[in-house]
Amino acid sequence: MALRTSFLIFIALIVLPGCLFHPGKEQLRRYLENRPEEPDYTFSYTQPSNISETGASISIFEQTLEFWNQPGSEGEPRWKDVLVPNSDDLYDKLLDICKRPNGEIHLKSYHYDSAGLDYLALVDYFDENGELIGFDYIPNDTTRYTPRESNFVGYENMAWWEYPMFILDVPVYLTIGIKELAGEIIKSPLSAIDLGWIGTPAEKRNPFSPVCFERAYYGFLQDWKDGFTGLTWRFRVRNRHTPWDLGRDLLGAVPIVGPIFDHKGPPERKDPPPKTKAFAISQGIHAGGDTEQYTRHLERAVKEHRPEVRTMAVPFPYGGLFDVMWSLLNVSNGMAYQTAHSVVFQHNLQRDEGLESIGFSGGVQRFGQASKLLRLGGFTVNKSIGVAGPFAGFSAAQEYHILLGDGFIEDPVVGTAHFVNFVYWWLPMNVTWYEVKGGGGHHLPYFPHPQTRQPESGYRVHVENLISNP
């Protein structure tokens, strides 16, 4: 009785404040109306003789501006949809100042939110006389969907012998589904604490800020939602299979050792695999809801190099450390079920469309596990790209490439990924690992830096090469 009462009190403490508060986009709205007295960051681009500790040569900023001004996807400048300037000619004005003999540009940044370790900032630009030139910020990214008309996949054109298979299917599907639901329910209080307060130091939040309560509340609910998605997934998507396949699915659900028995490639086909027609994109953990995914920079990069594919921003709503940990241990894979559900039912992937994907941080494990769930529905993942995140197990993609920096200590997430590889030495993986010398740390490729507005470039060349080659 006391335990149940304590649990209900805990839930009330999470739920009630969460109903009252809003995420970081409200902070942005307030900053746009009225700047704080002191900025979070200052940075100066000056002539080489005047460079300070918090500055760089103005020629570097000129290169940065030229990068963002260059035509990207659909012939539009690269900053389009990635940054929102107060006027379309802001970057042209800044370039003109860079070319003056004594030109200087000073940046004041106001941190209003965070996508993991990548801070989101409103930036004011001033010239050498202290005159405001303009400002820009990173917009909230509302995910766009083209929902599937049917709620089921693979039940059309079934062979006669598949109908008796339901007798075997139902107990297996229920066993795996209940295991996934139980794992997500057990994890939900931990996710609430994680999203609300473990991530707080990394994101430089006050532990009593409204955002902490809001994310704790929705993180708790998201685990339950993902659990029920896992419970129903195998009933909703179907591909031709045998009793042997059911046995492998059961063994694959066993914690820790289960991945040994997983499928190690896309579904078998008599005809060649479908060509890639869709590209799914995921950011990492500690993101907000569907309106706070911040994937436009990667979408624009994919469309620039692969204009023939359609991009899918696959939300990682309220993803946290325990989502990745539970998946690495194969306790439950709620985040992977959420990914597969988004790709099939929200973005309407068809069986004759090959899929490629790129996942950052926690998105590496997320897409690796999701590829196996997509395989259950007869979908083909041609290639996945992972950046700066851990992975354990097998992927059902034809190719899985993972980029990691070479530093164990410099970045805790990349260091954790190397540690996971060491711990799972006994588990062979069908993954190609790349150690990026000098590393990209733990920053989203192409993401505008909050202090300097330089695009994060640590992994960029490698990502471009992998994206550009189907």
Give the CA distances from residue 382 to residues 53, 354, 364, 368, 453, in Å, rounded to whole numbers and listed in that order. 46, 6, 15, 12, 34
> What is the reported pLDDT for 440?
61
Mean pLDDT over each residue of the chain, to the nearest integer = 85
Residue 460 lies in a domain: yes
In terms of domains, do 316 and 168 share one?
Answer: yes
**Contact between residue 448 and residue 455 where contact means Cβ atoms under 8 Å apart:** yes
Structure tokens at 183: 């794992």
Spatial contact of 293 and 143, defined as CB atoms under 8 Å apart: yes
Q: Is residue 96 located within the same domain as residue 225?
A: no
Instruction: Give the domain-ending residue among 70, 102, 137.
Output: 137
User: Alpha carbon of 327 to those of 207, 298, 364, 365: distances in Å?
Assistant: 27, 25, 11, 7
Q: Is residue 378 predicted with pLDDT exceeding 80? A: yes
The 3-state DSSP class for residue 434 equals strand
Judgement on whether residues 322 and 449 belong to the same structural domain of the protein: yes
My answer on whether 204 and 79 are in the same domain is: no
Residue 374 lies in a domain: yes
183 belongs to a structural domain: yes
User: Measured between alpha carbons, how far is 397 from 372 in angstroms, rounded to an integer?
Assistant: 8
**Residue 78, domain extent:** 25-137
Considering 16-25, 191-200, 387-396, the range whose residues carry the highest mean pLDDT is: 387-396
Q: Are 98 and 174 found together in one domain?
A: no
> What pLDDT does 116 receive?
65
Burial (Cβ within 10 Å: 0-12, 13-18, ≥19) of residue 209: middle
* Whole-number pLDDT of residue 318: 85
Same domain, yes or no, for 418 and 313? Answer: yes
Q: Rounded mean pLDDT of 220-249?
A: 93
Position with higher pLDDT, 295 vs 116: 295
- Is residue 14 assigned to a domain? no
E strand or H helix at 404: strand 399-405
pLDDT per residue over 59-103, tens digit each? Answer: 999 999 999 999 888 889 999 989 999 999 999 999 999 988 888
Report how many domains make up the chain. Answer: 2
Predicted pLDDT at 81: 87
Can you give the length of the chain in residues?
470
**Global pTM exceeds 0.75:** yes
Per the CB < 8 A criterion, the answer to whether 61 and 105 are in contact is yes
Is the pLDDT at 437 greater than 80? The verdict is: no
Q: Flag whether 19 is in a domain.
A: no
Torsion of CA 358, 360, 438, 468, to 10 degrees: 10
- pLDDT value at residue 266: 79
- 172 shares a domain with 97: no
Q: Are residues 82 and 189 in the same domain?
A: no
